[in-house]
Amino acid sequence: MFTYRYQCAECALEWELRRAHTERDAPAVCPTCRKPTGKRVFTPTRNLFYPPFTGQYTAGELARAIAPDTPEEREVWDKYG
């Protein structure tokens, strides 16, 4: 299930709706006027970065920050990347 944003063509209400990917383009029923006139509105994806990039790290500093510290962590790092 994915969350999509819709807007009603009748009353201009915008709302979010969880639907299957295969139903994303089907008209949605407006929660206010109860008509199937909701059309999907484009919303950009959220990009999640960890650690948060603030421009203060060089590539080497970032690599050292996420590198394993213990032999156990190194073993997992080597096995799974």
Comparing CA positions, the residue from 53, 19, 51, 52 lying closest to residue 38 is: 19
The pLDDT tens digits for 34-77 are 999 999 998 776 655 555 656 666 667 767 777 777 788 888 77
The pLDDT tens digits for 11-25 are 999 999 999 989 999
Which tokens sit at 36?
């199937």
Q: In the Cβ-directed half-sphere of 61, how many Cα atoms lie within 13 Å?
A: 7
